[in-house]
Amino acid sequence: MSAGDPPPPLPGARLLFSLDPAVAHLNHGSFGSVPISVQRTQQRLRDEAESNPLRFHVQGLVDRVVHTRRHLAAFLGADPDGSALVPNASSGVSLVLQSVGLTVGDEVLITDHAYGAVVLAVRRQCQRAGATLRTVPVPVTASAAEVVARVRDALRPGRTRLLVVDQVTSGTAKVFPVRDLAAAARDSGVPILVDGAHAPGMLPVDVTATGADFWVGNLHKWAFAPRGTALLSVTPAWRSAIDPLVTSWEQDSGFPLSVEFQGTVDYSGWLSAPAGLFAMRTLGVDTIRAHNAGLAAFGQRVVGAALGVPPEDLPDPGDPVASMRLVPLPTGLGDTQAQAHALRQLIADKLAAETAVNAWGGRCWLRLSAQIYNRPEEYRRLAERLPALLAAAPAR
């Protein structure tokens, strides 16, 4: 299937979600969308908890969480005994940052594609410890080999205390070669944390095979889990160092239970996550991935063409299975994240289309997602109406 041919819709897929049909939801990557079947599973668990709160939280909850963790870890190729359920990738990143033991003179290395909240977390921990945050610039057009070369050249053995890289970048929709990056970090004796927020469900993931010291990914983006469901995986050498952000009753059990049990939080989302994987497997995981990647490529092509972007200037995500694609917007629309957010809201209000707009490299970029509930006509409609909207937008 070429990038110009939209894939056929998956029969009945749109009916699996409760999305507003009056809106084109082209931004699955930000918050996902929970299938109705998973919503109902979670509600049944909430009903169970409310029917007898003491029994739900005291009798068997630990075993149910462990069973869920094992199920999700198996899907991701992670060691279930070295993985913990956490609310999201950002929490997992913060947990790792506080556990690696940064001190004065250390540095944490990131790329300029890092997620904004991760940058804030790294900066905060570095300021507390007297360490330094250093950023490696990576062009959006960089090949996998160039990404690795740039990061490898920036590592400083003995000083770089942690390397943080994305598996799929959020703002620029680029798939990084995390296995090769982990190998480069290992050669330099630098631990690596892979932010795999977008990877579960979108890409075939084998956490163990990446060779990362730490890996964290959300299942509520592309794996149909309720929001607030992520998995943090840690290699054996680091597990004893992981110190939970909140101390609770399983503290003495050590990782991962010490991280997972945080008192009377709502565990229904975690326990419902296997229902999301069941929904994916019912339709066919590979079928979903092929559909989404083909539709995202189609959306990128038609919107790019409408904006006058030559096909060769449309960024390649770096993996044909990626279901998010980037389109450069005309210059002059802004170069700050606040301006990008305002532009995203304008598109939502005027065109009834939910998209992602991010500022990166001195300009705004439109990020389009594709999920099984999307249709080619939604991208065509956006392509028809977006140029006029942008032309009328005030210059920044």
pLDDT attached to residue 5? 84
**Distance (Å, whole) CA 342 – CA 350:** 12
Farthest CA pair distance, the chain:
61
pLDDT attached to residue 245? 84
CA 54 to chain CA centroid, Å, is 35
pLDDT attached to residue 124? 97
Tell me the CATH architecture of domain 38-277: 3-Layer(aba) Sandwich (3.40)
* Whole-Å CA distances, 40 to 56, 218, 243, 273, 276: 18, 20, 34, 12, 11
pLDDT attached to residue 1? 37
pLDDT attached to residue 4? 64
pLDDT attached to residue 3? 46
| Radius of gyration from C-alpha coordinates of the chain | 21
Of the options 3.90.1150.10, 3.40.50.300, 3.40.980.20, 2.60.120.260, the CATH number for the domain spanning 13-33+284-392: 3.90.1150.10
Cis, bond preceding 6 (omega within 30 deg of 0): no
pLDDT attached to residue 65? 97
Q: Write the CB contacts of 310 (distance below 8 Å, at least 6 apart in sequence).
A: none
pLDDT tens-digit series, residues 117-175: 999 999 999 999 999 999 999 999 999 999 999 999 999 999 999 999 999 999 999 99
| DSSP class per residue in 139-189 | -TT--HHHHHHHHHHH--TTTEEEEEEESB-TTT--B--HHHHHHHHHHTT
Domain extent listing, the chain? 13-33+284-392, 38-277
**Distance (Å, whole) CA 265 – CA 34:** 20
CA 357 to chain CA centroid, Å, is 16
Residue 155 φ/ψ, nearest 5 degrees: -70, 140
Q: Which parts of the chain have pLDDT scores under 50?
A: 1-3
